[in-house]
């Protein structure tokens, strides 16, 4: 099992390397193919004073004139070992992991990401717990009370949850709750305020996911309840509650855990729509503003971080799956 995890981690590093290559290609190589020159790229960084000297200073500092593979090599070694930039006045040491330097905001990318990450992390954790608990719960109730009013109601709400986008549910909830503040407060400063301020964004994000999980759980439970081993559990004389929760749910829950890991990984990379809807300065919001500003180093940084979370989630899910289902356990 341990060697399996180590092997997966090595594979993950390789995968992330491929991701850097592709993002680099998108942000540096594609523009060249599309007719951009080092000068036109640099122009975006110079601002209003478009004199050749300033342009060349930028080209020199960022290295737009170097061969592409050298630029890529510099980028990757920067992530591993850090690198040094110059903004024309002084040298800027960018420590590892160095994801580049934003000449738009005169900030290093990595600290920017670190500033934004707690907000996205807070959103993901709170919403994840909400959607998992409520999704599975209502799914089980739906399956057990199939065809009853409770089932119909929960399936109706789930349909709404799947159909309504977060940028509709979010403002709706805000309107309904009036003056309820959604300004981010750090967990370390005030855990109570942290939770109460994030409650509405959590609900807004969790609603859609919970709807999906309700349907998944219901389908899984209905299938499990028809399994022979559930009949065996009843034949042993177990109480109906034990039959449902120990036998049927145990078998229905493993695919849900898998999907949960993947979804959580995706949200960790930035809940773009939610963050924009609630003006929460998380990673998703950072990605959007950076795209608008043409701040490529930051966009690349966010993209890589999101890719990292998804790759990590994949590994965690695979390991978890082996824990939950002994049939996939490696000997």
Partner 1 sequence: MTGRHSRPDQPADEYEFEHEARGERAVARRAGARHAAVETVPQPVTTRPVPIRNPVPNTMIEDYYSTGFNSSQAFLDVRDLRVYFPTEDGLVKSVDGVSFQVERGRTLGIVGESGSGKSVTSLSLLGLHKRPDKRGRGGARIAGEIWLDGEELVGASEEKIQALRGDKMAIVFQDPLSAMHPMYTVGDQIAEAYLVHNQVSKAAARTRAIEMLDRVGIPQPNARVDDYPHQFSGGMRQRAMIAMSLVCNPQLLIADEPTTALDVTVQAQILDLMRDLQREFNSALIIITHDLGVVAELADDIMVMYAGRAVEYGPAGSVFTAPEHPYTWGLLGSMPRLDRAVQERLLPIPGNPPSLINVPSGCAFHSRCTFAELTGGSCDDEVPELLDAGRRHLVRCHLGAEHRRRLFADRIAPHL
Q: Which residues bind to partner 1, rule: CB under 8 A?
A: 147, 227-229, 231-239, 247, 250-251, 254, 324-327
At residue 101, what are phi and psi to the nearest 5 degrees?
-130, 130
Tokens of 56: 């060349």
Structure token digits, residue 303:
């993209």
CA 5 to chain centre: 22
Q: CA-CA distance, 252 to 6, in Å (whole number)?
A: 29
Of the pair 161, 220, the CB lying nearest partner 1 is at: 220
Q: In the bound complex, what is the minimum distance in angstroms from residue 264's beta carbon to partner 1?
A: 23
Residue 103: which of 293, 270, 292 has the closest Cα?
293
CA 159 to chain centre: 24
Q: Return the number of the residue (225 or 268) whose C-beta is nearest partner 1.
A: 225
Residue 325 CB, shortest distance to partner 1, in Å, is 6
Query: Any idea which residue has 């949200």 for tokens?
Result: 267
Query: Least distance to partner 1 from the beta carbon of 321, Å?
Result: 11
CB nearer partner 1, residue 137 or residue 238: 238
Tokens standing for 146? 């199939």
Place of tokens 């729509």: 273
Q: Give the 3-state secondary structure of residue 108.
A: strand
Q: Minimum distance from CB of 218 to partner 1 (Å)? A: 17
94: part of which helix (H) or strand (E)? strand 91-94
**Cβ proximity to partner 1, 93 vs 231, nearer residue:** 231
For partner 1, which is the closer residue by CB, 20 or 217?
217
Q: Minimal distance in Å, beta carbon 253 to partner 1? A: 10
Rounded alpha-carbon distances, angstroms, from residue 131 to 5, 74, 108, 135, 207: 28, 42, 35, 5, 7
Shorter beta-carbon distance to partner 1: residue 189 or 228: 228
């Amino acid at each position: 099992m341990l060697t399996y995890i180590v092997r997966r981690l090595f594979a993950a590093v390789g995968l992330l390397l491929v991701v850097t290559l592709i993002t680099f290609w998108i942000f540096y190589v594609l523009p060249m193919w599309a007719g951009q020159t080092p000068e036109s790229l640099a122009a975006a960084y110079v601002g209003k004073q478009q004199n050749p000297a300033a342009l060349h200073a930028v080209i020199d500092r960022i290295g737009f004139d170097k061969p592409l593979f050298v630029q890529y090599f510099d980028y990757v070694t920067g992530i591993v070992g850090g690198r040094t930039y110059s903004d024309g006045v002084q040298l800027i040491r960018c420590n590892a992991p160095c994801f580049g330097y934003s000449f738009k905001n005169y900030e290093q990318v990595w600290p920017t990401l670190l500033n934004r990450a707690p907000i996205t992390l807070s959103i993901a954790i709170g919403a994840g717990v909400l959607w998992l608990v409520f999704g599975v719960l209502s799914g089980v109730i739906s399956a057990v009370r199939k065809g009853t009013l409770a089932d119909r109601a929960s399936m109706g709400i789930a349909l709404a949850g799947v159909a309504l986008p977060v940028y509709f549910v979010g403002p709706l909830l805000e309107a309904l709750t009036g003056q309820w503040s959604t300004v981010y407060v750090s967990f370390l400063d005030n855990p109570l305020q942290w939770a109460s301020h994030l409650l509405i964004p959590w609900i807004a994000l969790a609603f859609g996911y919970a709807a999906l999980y309700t349907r998944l759980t219901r389908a899984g439970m209905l299938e499990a309840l028809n399994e022979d081993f559930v009949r065996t559990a009843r034949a042993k004389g177990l109480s109906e509650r034990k039959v449902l929760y120990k036998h049927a749910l145990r078998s229905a829950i493993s695919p849900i855990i898998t999907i949960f890991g993947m979804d959580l990984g995706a949200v960790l990379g930035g809940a773009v729509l939610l963050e924009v809807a609630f003006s929460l300065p998380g990673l998703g919001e950072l990605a959007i503003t950076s795209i608008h500003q043409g701040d490529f180093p930051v966009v690349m940084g966010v993209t890589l971080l999101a890719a990292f979370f998804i790759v990590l989630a994949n590994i965690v899910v695979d390991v978890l799956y082996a824990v939950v289902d002994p049939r996939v356990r490696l000997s």
